[in-house]
Structure 1
Amino acid sequence: MTATSADWRPRLAPAIVLRHDRVRDTDLLLLPERVVVLRGAAGAVVGLCDGTRSVRDIVGELAGRFPGTPVATDVPPFLEDMREEGWLR
């Protein structure tokens, strides 16, 4: 994690909404013309992307929720991939 990426405060892009589908018990990203199904802990990660937490804060929060998982190595690239898709700002 570089200093710049660690300080980035990701938030959902305009017109994108995070919703939980109770019927399927999964989190979804609702985009203007499609739906993205978030698998595993992806919904928990995206749920922390509110523009107030830095990537470092998100990693710290998730490390507490999911001890023993490779949060520090998995979350920053996941967030960067979502930014490249245009889903996060």
Structure 2
Amino acid sequence: MKQFDTTIVPVWQRGYRFQYEPSQQAYIILYPEGMIKLNETASAIAQHIDGQHSVAEIITLLKQQFGDIADIDADVVDYMCVAQKENWIKLSHG
């Protein structure tokens, strides 16, 4: 796994909103140009992006929720990297 600073705190970009969409029967990221339907893993991670929890804290919360699943750390880091690259979130030191 590449080096990633898990002390950073992810926040949704302005104009992006995470919510459950009954018509999609899934969690989505809503933004001015459209929406992104998330899979179960991405939804579980995204539910903890609140501008308060660091990436390390999100990993801990997910381990408490689901148990110590193999690769959970890598899955969270991968999600954060993709979400930042796609401009869904900002990563900063709280």
TM score, norm. by length of structure 2: 0.84
**Which structure 2 residue ranges, 5 or more long, are not aligned?**
none
Which residue in the other structure is 1:83 paired with?
A: 84
Any idea what the Cα deviations from partners look like across 1:31-86, whole Å, max 9, x if unmatched? Answer: 11111000112112111111110000000000111114221121112111101111
Which residue in the other structure is 1:74 paired with?
A: 75
Which residue in the other structure is 2:28 paired with?
A: 28
User: How far did residue 22 of structure 1 move?
Assistant: 1.9
Higher helix share: 1
Structure 1 outlier segments of 4+, above 6 Å? none
Which residue in the other structure is 2:61 paired with?
A: 61
User: Partners in 2 of 1:68 and 1:12 — Cα distance?
Assistant: 26
User: Partners in 2 of 1:85 and 1:79 — Cα distance?
Assistant: 10
TM score, norm. by length of structure 1: 0.88
Conserved 8 A contact 1:5-1:76? no
Conserved 8 A contact 1:30-1:36? yes
Q: What is the RMSD of the two structures over their aligned residues, measured on CA atoms?
A: 1.5
Which residue in the other structure is 1:47 paired with?
A: 47
Higher strand share: 2
